[in-house]
Structure formats: structure tokens, C-alpha cells
Structure 1
Amino acid sequence: AGQAFRKFLLLFDRILVERGGIMLPEKSQGKVLQAAVVALGAGSTGKGGEVQTVSVRVGGEVLLPEYGGAKVVLGDKDCFLFRDE
């Protein structure tokens, strides 16, 4: 999967994460709130034309919303694509 991550190029303010870690209570079984950042885009362009870099770094841990993100399968790993908002 490491080879697949190197070939995967993210654009703008996109963040690719791999879920794992904190689990929600029993009534929401299977939902994961914590993820590790595995790839980043360069950032978005602001109104003045300046590039605004993403606010996280590869290897960092992030908390995710319960819903959202686009599922991406790279190698044998399920990852999710989010915007840096």
C-alpha cells in the first residue's frame, strides 16, 4: 500500500486519512472517529491568489465527522478523502 500512496497525488486542500482508533459507544457500533493522515494536497488558493496550506501534516491524528468523506481503496487499505475545512 505504501507504493500506492506515493503514486496518489492529491489536489488543493484534500486530505487522505486511514481510519482507526477511538470507537463510538455501542449504539453506533462500527463508527470510527479518529484517523491518521497519510497524504495531503498542496492547499487551496485564497481570494488574493496566495496559497493557503492545509492545517495538518502527514502522520498526524485527526478527528472525523461521523458522516462524509469519499472512500478510496489503495492497495488493500480503505482510506477516506476529506477537505481541510
Structure 2
Amino acid sequence: MSKRLIPLLDRVLVEKIVAPTKSVGGILLPETAVSKARNINEGKVLAVGPGRRAGNTAELIPMGVKVGDKVLLPDYGGTEVKLSSKDGAKETFLYTDSEILGIVSDQ
């Protein structure tokens, strides 16, 4: 059974991007190359909450990221969330909008 999580307030559900252990051609990568790639903390935004409230008002402050964004994550932090899917368990974490360091652009 597949679970779905809808974040509340200013929380963001992120799937961490795991460094590949094989090249595109099928060659196993050396441990040094894999460990360097693991130091890059990037993830893909899977779900986003509506935003946080501005003081005691009902007004919501919009989120800085959207679903599908590739984001830079801090070394520590976030709450690990166990979600299963057709592809197996993914490494997913729940962060607040302010914990995300930036949006990674491929341009």
C-alpha cells in the first residue's frame, strides 16, 4: 500500500537525491567518487504545505519552493518520513520552508 503525505503550514516533503554507484555505461564507480557525490545534499520537492500564517492573521505567507523543484538541503535537520511506493522505500524528509537553503537550477 502506498502512503501519501500532505504537509501542513510551511512544511516541505523532499526526496533526497542519492548518488549513483554505477555509471551510465554500467561501470561501478570507486568508493571515493561515490562518497564525494554523497556530500551533495540535494533533493526533489514532492509536496508543499500552503504556507505559514503571518502573525495572528489568517493571511498565509507563500512558500518559496514548489513541487518538482530541485533544492539544496542542510547537512543536518529535517524529519525522516518512511513512505513506500511502487519503486520501494524512498529517502524522504520533512523540512520547514526556512530550512531549505536554495533552489538548484540546471542553467
2:75 aligned counterpart, secondary structure: coil
Shift of 1:68: 0.7
- Normalized per residue, which structure has more strand? 1
Question: Which of the residues 8, 11, 14 maps onto 1:11?
Answer: 8
Percent identity (aligned): 35
Residues 1:78 and 2:78 are matched in the alignment: no
Report matched runs for 1:1-85 at 5 Å.
Answer: 3-5=2-4, 8-20=5-17, 29=35, 30-47=38-55, 49=57, 50-75=59-84, 76-85=89-98
Q: Give ranges in structure 2 of 5+ residues lacking alignment.
A: 20-31, 99-107
Once residues 32 and 72 of structure 1 are traced to their aligned partners in structure 2, the CA distance between those partners, rounded to angstroms, is 20
- The total of aligned residue pairs comes to 78
Structure 1 length normalisation: TM-score?
A: 0.78
Shift of 1:41: 0.7
Q: Of the two, which has the highest radius of gyration?
A: 2
Shift of 1:11: 0.6
Post-superposition Cα deviations, 1:23-57, rounded to whole Å, max 9, x if no partner, equal xxx5xx34441100001111100025110121101
What letter corresponds to residue 43 of structure 2 in structure 1? A
Alpha-carbon RMSD across the aligned residues, in angstroms, is 2.2
After TM superposition, what 4+ stretches of structure 1 lie above 2 angstroms from structure 2?
Answer: 29-32
Structure 2 length normalisation: TM-score?
A: 0.63
Q: Give ranges in structure 1 of 5+ residues lacking alignment.
A: none
Once residues 97 and 9 of structure 2 are traced to their aligned partners in structure 1, the CA distance between those partners, rounded to angstroms, is 9
